[in-house]
């Protein structure tokens, strides 16, 4: 596939130890472009990104995630209604949540419930009640079926923690695309979170994120793309794909003063622990 689609070149760096992209959306086309799944997986494998968590964020993409994880041994699935999607269901929200629970138990390659959570940036006050109810139901589903919970949190740090404190967090839960500072990182870590860092940690204006990364214990750090979004520097603004994770990991290693291979191996172990074992 040519690069006119907006996808950056494959990095020269091959990671010294394989890692997992624990949050990607390989089904989503952005700006009218998407890599075929087989090509996305092959490009990623060429730089050492060998396993993936394919994340559903509405009913069609959740169904796709389940099907794709059954077809590709490198992939497991996460299923949920995104917090911005939940208010759109109106009176049908309960039926949609029931479908998410059915998909979460469809087969053993569905390891996670996510991405759920709260987003007060795109959804206004009228959607808060539906978002909160949906988030609580997702927490319940994850706990009942022993699934990892993946949380989307945008401009809602305190509210996310309030829900988790009132419901009780699952044994395994991930702050997807962690977006807080060091103090919020500590608050999440105190509650048992894994912190997942995306390409945003490479942005010049992301000093708070880098401080959060620096204080996180080494056994609580994950990496992701959120592809096709959040492309790391030096390609910010172009299309993202799992093969670009080396750019993010280089910055993460620098922030932590860590050897890149050691960090990759640790993240690989962490991801298996966060998602209930190897696949």
Binding residue ranges for a divalent metal cation = 23, 25, 115, 152, 176, 226
Residue numbering of the annotated binding site: 23, 25, 115, 152, 176, 226
Taking the CA of residue 140 as centre, how many other CA atoms within 13 Å lie in the half-sphere pointing to its CB? 11
**Across-strand partners of 212?**
none
Q: Are 20 and 52 in contact (CB under 8 A)?
A: yes
CA distance 32 to 30: 5
List, edge to edge, every strand of the sheet that includes 221-223: 19-24, 49-55, 75-79, 110-119, 148-154, 173-175, 193-197, 221-223
């Amino acid at each position: 596939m040519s690069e006119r689609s907006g996808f950056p070149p494959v990095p020269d760096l091959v990671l010294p130890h394989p890692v997992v992209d624990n949050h990607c959306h390989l089904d989503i086309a952005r700006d009218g472009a998407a890599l075929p799944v087989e090509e996305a997986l092959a490009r990623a494998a060429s730089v050492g990104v060998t396993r993936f968590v394919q994340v559903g964020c509405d009913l069609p993409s959740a169904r796709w995630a389940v099907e794709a994880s059954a077809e590709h041994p490198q992939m497991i699935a996460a299923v949920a209604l995104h917090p911005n999607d939940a208010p759109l269901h109106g009176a049908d929200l309960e039926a949609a949540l029931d479908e998410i629970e059915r998909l979460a138990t469809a087969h053993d390659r569905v390891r996670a419930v996510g991405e759920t959570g709260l987003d007060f940036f795109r959804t206004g006050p009228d959607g808060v009640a539906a978002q909160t109810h949906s988030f609580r139901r997702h927490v319940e589903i994850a706990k009942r079926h022993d699934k990892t919970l993946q949380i989307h949190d945008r401009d809602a740090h305190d509210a996310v923690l309030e829900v988790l404190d009132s419901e009780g967090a699952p044994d395994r839960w991930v702050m997807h695309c962690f977006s807080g500072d060091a103090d919020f990182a500590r608050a999440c870590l105190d509650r048992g979170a894994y912190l997942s860092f995306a390409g945003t940690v490479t942005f010049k204006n992301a000093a708070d994120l880098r401080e959060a990364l620096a204080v996180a214990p080494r056994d609580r750090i994950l990496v992701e793309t959120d592809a096709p979004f959040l492309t790391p520097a030096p390609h910010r603004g172009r299309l993202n794909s799992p093969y670009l994770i080396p750019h993010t990991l280089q910055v993460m290693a620098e922030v932590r003063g860590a050897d890149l291979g050691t960090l990759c191996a640790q993240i690989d172990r962490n991801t298996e622990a966060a998602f209930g074992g190897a696949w």
